Amino acid sequence: MTEKTSPHKVSRMLELYFQGYSQSDIAEKINVNQSTVSLHINRFKTMAALIDRLWCKTEVGGVARYENDHYQQISQDIANVPGNPWFICTMWVAQYHIARAQSIGDLKPALQIFTWAKHCALPSGVVAEQVHPYNCAPLNVSPLTWSHAAVVIAIHEYIDKYHELQAQLHHRQKGI
């Protein structure tokens, strides 16, 4: 069983990992057990792999549900379009970036995803279940409540995290 680890320690683990430290060195350096380090590094690697494999590598972007998703499939080019981009899946990636953020700058990937959502929404603000991977046209159900809910939830999480990080920055600047 791993211990509960603060977001700051998780961020530090990943920072040390990318600097080339071994998992045992990281555990010793930040005073946690090695299984905790391993768990968090593996979680990060899993999300990085999911984003890499499920991100649509077209001008549209966005995240597919899973590789070679046949539902309303537009392209057979699975290497670049693993499936059509879904609003809910793309918002989950925004939520991941929001949860990991340790600074206001760390929120930039989530903000870029919100820009994607705005671009792929209809002029009325309606969002579909999924979009065409080459032109962002809505596919299947539109509007779809769970897509709208995913966008709203992610935006609320972004706002909360932004305020939290802004308050932390303010406290550090005042020496509190």
- Domain termination site, one of 9, 35, 53: 53
Task: Indicate the residue type of 91.
Answer: M
DSSP assignment of 14-56 equals HHHHHTT--HHHHHHHHT--HHHHHHHHHHHHHHHHHHHHHB-
Task: Indicate whether 47 and 127 sit together in one domain.
Answer: no
Q: How confident is the model at residue 110 (pLDDT cuts 50, 70, 90)?
A: very high
How many domains are there within the chain? Answer: 2
- Domain termination site, one of 30, 53, 76: 53
Specify the CATH number for the domain of residue 14: 1.10.10
Task: Indicate whether 74 and 157 sit together in one domain.
Answer: yes
Task: Indicate whether 120 and 42 sit together in one domain.
Answer: no
N-to-C CA span, the chain: 34
Domain that holds residue 24: 1-53
Quick one: what percent of the chain has pLDDT higher than 90? 74
- Domain termination site, one of 53, 68, 97: 53
Task: Indicate whether 83 and 18 sit together in one domain.
Answer: no
Task: Indicate whether 81 and 140 sit together in one domain.
Answer: yes
Encode pLDDT of 24-48 as tens digits: 999 999 999 999 999 988 888 888 8
Task: Indicate whether 114 and 163 sit together in one domain.
Answer: yes
Give the residue-averaged pLDDT of 92-111. Answer: 93
Contact 61, 116 (CB under 8 A): yes
Is the pLDDT at 1 greater than 70, yes or no? no
Q: How confident is the model at residue 10 (pLDDT cuts 50, 70, 90)?
A: confident
Task: Indicate whether 62 and 46 sit together in one domain.
Answer: no
Task: Indicate whether 67 and 34 sit together in one domain.
Answer: no
Of 7 and 124, the one with more pLDDT: 124
**Site of tokens 């305020």:** 163
Task: Indicate whether 25 and 104 sit together in one domain.
Answer: no
